[in-house]
């Protein structure tokens, strides 16, 4: 049922997909400290699960904790803490086999109890964790230990994409009853020190079950803005970063000693329109905003021509609906706004400018809107202050890197932090229910197409372009791999640094 | 930097005379010319732009040519148009903030000097506390909390200017309080407001003029820095400070988009500084001789 683990397949597929490819090199020396730059707010914590998170959280977690399996581009899995997942005929009982001889950073053994504890915590409504949306088809009482290395999940009703759900890279495992600040995981690196908003230092874990990392330490350094991390890279204060300013790529190309790596397209910078408040309550206003955007100009000038045009629906290059590419149409936009009685709309657009091209994108929208008498005032905010009111904002920027199956639960959630556009569409919700009942990929794809068409027709996000993640790293660093699907530099196991 | 010498018995020159005296110095004349030129440039500039300063009309960092005299900035907008329209906000916000700070600071300083005793101590301790906050940090704090607004910025910069202003004005006004005309006014029971406005304020015009010049420069630099840091004028509006920050990544490809706005801010402030410092020097030199 599942594709077997072929480590080399991962490397080959990545090399084929990335224009610069993975930077693996043989015979490089080992040791040293890798300094990775991330754009992060000051409010992140060391807990493996938290609701306010920025880049540092993901990078840190990826070094210290592991999921059951890593997803692969071809739809298969590279097993990590699990070694296999089986199910009964009607998709109601799933059995997860765990990897034997896996040690936590304190030397104790990983087992079924730890897995059950994590699932119980994620499923507990009181904790209000984002991950619950990926697995809320589960009944916490239905999870039971068969033996130390086997966990059985009895579901209240059939659920098709079980493996997909539980192998979410954010569902990671720590030692049962350990404290959050211990960060007691099984990952290839263990915690040395952490200062919120500044840096995290991790070192190689010698008891790691898999191939041990070659570098001694990884230092994850937080920056307030992409400008700052880009400048730090150019100034050689850091060795690698996935949070760089795309507008400076031309400068970086000319800078000796720096290399650029592009992943597959996996990022959509979105402009959200809160669908339960004025003026975006009216679908005509939302559609008008989408028609105002000059997508081609945005792709070439805000995103430096990296990536492809997007069509106002989420998800990436699989299962696309049969709708034409939306183009700028100011006449139509003007008419829609007039019909809605919002001809001289004036509104603030808030952004933290925390992704490449974001600030440029909103400026292009504001400039195009001006042509039909709509005033959009751009408000650039500090990331911490911006995130505090996440879920309450009316016109704002965000970004999405998730596969469709994972994004949908958030779009249909009743929680404002997840469904930040407050979009609520009955037909979309009923299709979503069908999507998760089937385990047939073909059928899933057909349903996805219908759902994306609804998003295209009446959704609440402006999705202009789909971008690759562009990372920049020092040419002294070898073996960096863009993680699938995020395209970020999370995996440092194969990294070596030339001394 | 300020070398005023307020003397106990000094008789102040009337303002016309002060202006003439100040303009005898070459340095103040040069400073004034630079300052006035930059203010005029900022005010008239927006009417002379060849393109809209916010229109995206070329590739990012396009080279000069195709009707763009200096090429395009980080988003593909005309650099010339942005430079021409980038000074007006800075100018009005700078002047407004200075006016606010100077009025508030002078009021506090004069009241403290006039009242003396516990009021003086209280006001000056509050001023001391305010002095310990760096203006830019305070502005960033507030803007982070309430979101960017030009008027809030003006108010914050004005508050930032107030403590220094209050200290100087109190220092200048204290000797004046013991002069005969002030004592006389107090004896016959004129209102405090009348004494401060009619008797004390005219006697401290010289330090006040110098302070206005200096504070204007501080607020211009402060506002430009805040825009550079992303807390001031918001994109897509043009602003010299913001332009430096927007285009700094393209410094290697398109240096003019950074250098010209930076030079504009520099000329503005250097002009103002030359003027204020020259004026202070002239006043310091002539005040004692005239008393």
* Contact of A61 with A168, CB cutoff 8 Å: no
Nearest chain B residue to A359, by CA: B235
User: In chain B, what residues touch A360 (CB-CB under 8 Å)?
Assistant: 74-75
**What pLDDT score does B15 carry?**
47
Give the span between the Cα atoms of A202 and A62, in whole angstroms. 11
Among candidates B90, B38, B18, which has minimal Cα distance to B238?
A: B90
**What pLDDT score does A250 carry?**
78
User: For residue A273, which phi and psi values (nearest 5 degrees)?
Assistant: -125, 115
* B40: confidence class by pLDDT, cuts 50, 70, 90: very high
Q: How far is B120 from chain A (nearest CA, A)?
A: 39
Give the span between the Cα atoms of A99 and B163, in whole angstroms. 67
The one-character DSSP state at B197 is I
Optimal mutation site among B55, B241, B249, interface A, most CBs of chain A within 10 A: B249
Residue B289 has pLDDT above 50, yes or no: no
> B229 at the A interface (CB within 8 A)?
no
User: In chain A, what residues touch B253 (CB-CB under 8 Å)?
Assistant: 250-251
> A379 at the B interface (CB within 8 A)?
yes
Among candidates B107, B100, B164, which has minimal Cα distance to B130?
A: B164
Of A251, A378, A382, the CB nearest to B234: A378
CB pairs under 8 A between A and B: 70
Q: How far is B56 from chain A (nearest CA, A)?
A: 7
**What pLDDT score does A464 carry?**
93
**What pLDDT score does B9 carry?**
46
Among candidates A358, A340, A335, A339, which has minimal Cα distance to A280?
A: A340
List, in order, residues 6 or more apart from A342 with CB less than 8 Å away: A279, A282, A285, A288
pLDDT tens for A130-165 read: 888 788 889 999 999 999 999 999 999 888 889 889
Contact A227 B59 (CB under 8 A): no
Give the span between the Cα atoms of A240 and A20, in whole angstroms. 15
* Contact of B105 with B162, CB cutoff 8 Å: yes
* Contact of B174 with B207, CB cutoff 8 Å: no
Contact A367 B54 (CB under 8 A): yes
**What pLDDT score does A10 carry?**
37
Q: How far is A363 from chain B (nearest CA, A)?
A: 6
Give the span between the Cα atoms of A281 and B243, in whole angstroms. 36
Of A304, A379, A380, the CB nearest to B60: A304
**What pLDDT score does B143 carry?**
86
What 3-state class would DSSP assign to B75?
coil
Nearest chain B residue to A389, by CA: B145
Contact B235 A363 (CB under 8 A): yes
User: For residue A471, which phi and psi values (nearest 5 degrees)?
Assistant: -115, 150
Among candidates A65, A280, A269, A278, which has minimal Cα distance to A175?
A: A65
Both tokens of residue B101?
């700070």
Contact A301 B56 (CB under 8 A): yes
Residue with the two structure tokens 């006040």: B208
Residue B14 has pLDDT above 70, yes or no: no
Residue B290 has pLDDT above 60, yes or no: no
Nearest chain A residue to B230, by CA: A380
Of A245, A250, A377, the CB nearest to B253: A250
Q: How far is A481 from chain B (nearest CA, A)?
A: 26
> A359 at the B interface (CB within 8 A)?
yes
* Contact of B61 with B290, CB cutoff 8 Å: no
Strand A395-400 relative to strand A258-273: parallel, antiparallel, unpaired? antiparallel
Contact B249 A245 (CB under 8 A): yes
Optimal mutation site among A380, A384, A389, A396, interface B, most CBs of chain B within 10 A: A380
* B16: confidence class by pLDDT, cuts 50, 70, 90: low
Contact B55 A367 (CB under 8 A): yes
Strand A143-147 relative to strand A93-98: parallel, antiparallel, unpaired? unpaired
Both tokens of residue B43?
């005010």
Contact B249 A359 (CB under 8 A): no
Among candidates A15, A65, A62, which has minimal Cα distance to A36?
A: A62
> A297 at the B interface (CB within 8 A)?
yes
**What pLDDT score does A8 carry?**
38
Both tokens of residue B55?
């229109």
* Contact of A215 with A492, CB cutoff 8 Å: yes
Q: How far is A314 from chain B (nearest CA, A)?
A: 26
pLDDT tens for A468-486 read: 888 999 999 998 888 877 7
User: What residues of chain A score a pLDDT lower than 50?
Assistant: 1-29
The structural domains of chain B, ordered by start, are 38-287 (1.10.3720.10)
Query: SS3 for chain A, per residue?
Result: CCCCCCHHHHHHHHHHHCCCCCCCCCCCCCCCEEEEEEECCCCCCCCCCCCCCCHHHHHHHHHHCCCCEEECCCCCEEECCEEEEEECCCCCEEEEEECCCCECCCCCECCHHHHHHHHHHHHCHHHCCCCHHHHCCCCHHHEEEEECCEEEEECCCCCCCHHHHHCCCCCCCCCCCCCHHHCCCCCCEEEEEEECCCEEEEEECCCCCCCCCCCCEEEEEEECCHHHHHHHHHCCCCCEECCCCHHHHHHHHHCCCEEEEEEEEEEEEEEEECCCCCCCCCHHHHHHHHHHCCHHHHHHHHCCCCCEECCCCCCCCCCCCCCCCCCCCHHHHHHHHHHCCCCCCEEEEEECCCCCCHHHHHHHHHHHHHCCCCEEEEEECCHHHHHHCCCCCCEEEEEECCCHHHHHHHHCCCCCCCCCCCCCCHHHHHHHHHHHHCCCHHHHHHHHHHHHHHHHHHCCEEEEEEEEEEEEEECCEECCEECCCCCCEEECCCCEECC
Q: How far is B263 from chain A (nearest CA, A)?
A: 22
Nearest chain A residue to B236, by CA: A363
B 69-88 near A (Cβ less than 8 A): 74-76
> B255 at the A interface (CB within 8 A)?
no
pLDDT tens for B230-260 read: 888 888 889 999 999 888 877 878 888 999 9
| pTM above threshold 0.80 | no
* Contact of B219 with B157, CB cutoff 8 Å: yes
User: In chain B, what residues touch A230 (CB-CB under 8 Å)?
Assistant: 249
């Amino acid at each position: 049922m599942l594709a077997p683990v072929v480590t080399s397949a991962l490397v080959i597929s990545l090399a084929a997909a990335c224009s610069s490819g993975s930077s693996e090199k043989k015979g490089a020396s080992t040791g040293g400290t890798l300094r990775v730059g991330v754009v992060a707010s000051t409010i992140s914590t060391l807990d493996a699960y938290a609701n306010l998170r920025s880049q540092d959280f993901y990078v840190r977690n990826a070094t210290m904790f592991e999921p059951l399996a890593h997803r692969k581009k071809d739809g298969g899995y590279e097993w990590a803490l699990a070694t296999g997942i089986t199910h009964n005929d009607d998709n109601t009982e799933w059995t997860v086999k765990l990897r034997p001889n896996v040690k936590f950073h304190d030397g104790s053994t990983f087992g079924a109890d730890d897995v059950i504890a994590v699932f119980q915590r994620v499923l507990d409504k009181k904790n209000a964790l984002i991950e619950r949306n990926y697995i809320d088809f589960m009944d916490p009482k239905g999870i039971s230990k068969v033996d130390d290395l086997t966990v059985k999940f009895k579901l209240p009703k059939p659920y098709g994409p079980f493996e997909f759900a539980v192998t979410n890279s954010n569902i990671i495992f720590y030692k049962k009853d350990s404290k959050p600040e211990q960060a007691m995981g099984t990952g290839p690196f263990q915690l040395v020190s952490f200062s919120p908003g500044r840096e995290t230092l991790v070192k190689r874990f010698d008891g790691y079950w898999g191939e041990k990392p070659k570098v001694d330490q990884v230092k994850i350094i937080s920056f307030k803005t992409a400008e700052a991390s880009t400048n730090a890279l150019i100034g050689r204060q850091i060795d690698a970063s996935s949070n760089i300013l795309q507008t400076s790529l031309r400068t970086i190309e000319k800078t000796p000693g720096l290399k650029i790596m592009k992943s597959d397209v996996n990022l959509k910078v979105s402009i959200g329109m809160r669908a339960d408040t004025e003026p975006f309550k009216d679908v005509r206003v939302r559609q008008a905003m989408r028609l105002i955007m000059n997508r081609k100009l945005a792709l070439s000038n805000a995103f430096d021509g990296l990536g492809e045009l997007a069509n106002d629906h989420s998800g990436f290059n699989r299962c696309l609906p049969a709708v034409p590419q939306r183009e700028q149409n100011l006449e139509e936009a003007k008419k829609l706004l007039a019909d809605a009685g919002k001809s001289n709309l004036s509104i603030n657009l808030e952004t933290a400018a925390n992704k490449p091209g974001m600030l440029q994108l909103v400026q292009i929208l504001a400039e195009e809107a001006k042509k039909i008498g709509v005033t959009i005032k751009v408000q650039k905010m500090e990331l911490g202050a911006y995130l505090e009111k996440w879920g309450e904002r009316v016109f704002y920027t965000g970004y999405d890197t998730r596969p469709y199956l994972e994004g949908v639960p958030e779009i249909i959630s009743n929680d404002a932090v997840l469904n930040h556009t407050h979009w609520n569409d009955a037909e979309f919700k009923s299709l979503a229910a069908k999507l998760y009942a089937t385990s047939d990929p073909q059928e899933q794809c057909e349903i996805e197409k219908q759902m994306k068409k609804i998003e295209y027709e009446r959704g609440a996000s402006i999705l202009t372009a789909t971008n690759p993640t562009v990372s920049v790293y020092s040419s002294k660093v070898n073996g960096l791999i863009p993680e699938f699907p995020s395209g970020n530099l999370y995996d440092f196991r194969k990294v070596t640094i030339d001394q | 930097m300020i070398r005023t010498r307020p003397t106990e018995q000094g008789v102040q020159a009337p303002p016309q005379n002060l202006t003439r005296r100040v303009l005898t110095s070459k340095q103040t004349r040069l400073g004034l010319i630079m300052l006035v030129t930059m203010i005029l440039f900022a005010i008239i500039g927006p009417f002379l732009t060849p393109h809209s300063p916010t229109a995206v009309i070329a590739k990012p960092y396009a080279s000069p040519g195709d009707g763009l005299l200096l090429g395009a900035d980080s988003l593909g907008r005309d650099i010339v148009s942005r430079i021409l329209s980038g000074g007006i906000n800075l100018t009005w916000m700078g002047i407004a903030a200075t006016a606010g700070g100077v009025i508030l600071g002078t009021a506090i300083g004069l009241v403290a000097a006039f009242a003396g005793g516990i009021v003086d101590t209280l006001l000056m301790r509050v001023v001391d506390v305010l002095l310990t906050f760096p203006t830019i940090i305070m502005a960033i704090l507030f803007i982070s909390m309430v979101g960017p607004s030009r008027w809030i910025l003006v108010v914050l910069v004005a508050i930032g200017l107030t403590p220094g202003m209050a200290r100087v004005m109190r220092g200048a006004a204290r000797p004046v309080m013991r002069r005969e005309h002030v004592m006389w006014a107090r004896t016959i029971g004129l209102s405090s407001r009348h004494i401060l406005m009619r008797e004390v304020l005219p006697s401290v015009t010289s330090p006040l003029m110098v302070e206005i010049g200096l504070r204007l420069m501080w607020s211009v630099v402060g506002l430009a820095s805040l825009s550079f840091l992303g807390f001031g004028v918001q994109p897509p509006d043009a602003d010299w400070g913001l332009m430096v920050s927007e285009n700094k990544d393209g410094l290697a490809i398109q240096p003019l988009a950074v250098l010209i706005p930076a030079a504009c801010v520099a000329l503005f402030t250097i002009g103002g500084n030359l003027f204020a410092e020259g004026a202070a020097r002239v006043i310091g030199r002539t005040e004692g001789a005239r008393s």
